[in-house]
């Protein structure tokens, strides 16, 4: 199973760009990388998913280097409402859910 490692916490200020890196050294060929966001007292919510290079949507960008051993979630111009826990998830496209591994999560705190 591809284990993931993320920073436990990060602080930022409103309006700044935030980059959260996830390490997944044992990622397999078929694995995709997915990021979720979780607010207190709520279930996680899908943010973005990618396989290689760069993916961008209306919420975030995901950068994946050629070796795919890490990935970086980029949140542009964060606001106070982006304060949440962010999870990096690595999973097998053909396997069972047992191949899915949630990281321990990164607590992002956005300060005014």
Two tokens, residue 80: 């106070």
Map residues 43-82 to x or -, x wherever contact with other proteins holds by CB under 8 A: xxxx--x-x-------------------------------
Map residues 9-38 to x or -, x wherever contact with other proteins holds by CB under 8 A: ---------------------xxx-x-x--
From the number of C-beta atoms within 10 Å of its C-beta (0-12, 13-18, 19+), residue 24 rates as buried
Instruction: Tokens 């962010």: give the residue.
Output: 86
DSSP reduced 3-state for 36: strand
What is the size of the binding site for other proteins (CB under 8 A)?
A: 26
| Residues binding other proteins (CB under 8 A) | 30-32, 34, 36, 41-46, 49, 51, 87, 91-94, 96-98, 100, 102-105
């Amino acid at each position: 199973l591809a284990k993931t490692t993320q920073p436990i916490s990060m602080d930022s200020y409103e309006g700044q760009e935030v980059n959260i890196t996830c390490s997944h050294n044992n990622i397999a060929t078929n694995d995709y990388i997915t990021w979720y966001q979780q607010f207190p007292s709520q279930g996680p919510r899908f943010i973005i998913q990618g396989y290689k290079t760069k993916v961008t949507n209306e919420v975030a960008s995901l950068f994946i280097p050629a070796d795919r051993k890490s990935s970086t979630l980029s949140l542009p111009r964060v606001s106070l409402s982006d304060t949440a826990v962010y999870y990096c998830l690595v999973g097998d496209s053909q396997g069972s859910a047992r191949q899915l591994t949630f990281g321990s999560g990164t607590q992002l705190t956005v300060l005014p």
